[in-house]
Amino acid sequence: MSAGVSGAIAEGDRLPVLSRRVSQAVINAYAEASGDFNPIHTDPDYASKGPFGRTIAHGMMTLAYASDLMSEWAGEAWLSDSAIDVAFLGPVFAGDDVTVTGVVREIVQEDAGPTTVCELTCQVGDRTVMAGSARCRIGAS
């Protein structure tokens, strides 16, 4: 089991990079798992007539990748008293390689303990498809 980050955390620390290859099979599997069968994700014929010209991945799937990164980095601290806040900036297509990166932006001392705020970016090549931040109760040790 992942125990999460060990040692002291400092502003500017970089989180490990998370990479995922997205295929139509991956999108379909996510549709099955989430129950979201919007045809813009799963029906190439329908999607070909839409604004993107082809199917796109669910935004929540991309968000799940960012959450996975936080799970791997923060461990159990990510499971409660935590938050994530993102904007979906562009589509993710089948065949895209998605990379999620993060950096510790701020460590805030709150009544309940230290809270680390991480800036998250999700990219496909040079294109930013999602960006935002996450916070959890982990910090100065």
Partner 1 sequence: MSAYVRYDDVDIGWTFPAEPAEFVVTDAVVDKFCTATDDRSGLYDVPRDGGVRRAPPMIAAVYLIDVLKARGGPPGGVHAKQRLAFHHALHVGDLLRTQACVTDKYVKKERRYVVAETETRNQRGEVVATGVITSIWGPDQ
Give the footprint of partner 1 on this chain (CB under 8 A): 1-2, 20, 26, 29-30, 32-36, 38-40, 50, 58-61, 63-65, 67-68, 71-72, 75-76, 78-88
Q: Closest approach of Cβ 23 to partner 1, in Å?
A: 11
| Cβ proximity to partner 1, 34 vs 109, nearer residue | 34
Q: Closest approach of Cβ 101 to partner 1, in Å?
A: 16
Q: CA 69 to CA 136: how far, in whole Å?
A: 13
Q: Is 133 exposed, middle or buried (0-12, 13-18, 19+ CB in 10 A)?
A: middle
* Contact between 26 and 39 (Cβ < 8 Å): no
HSE on the CB side for 33, CA within 13 Å?
Answer: 10
Q: Closest approach of Cβ 26 to partner 1, in Å?
A: 7
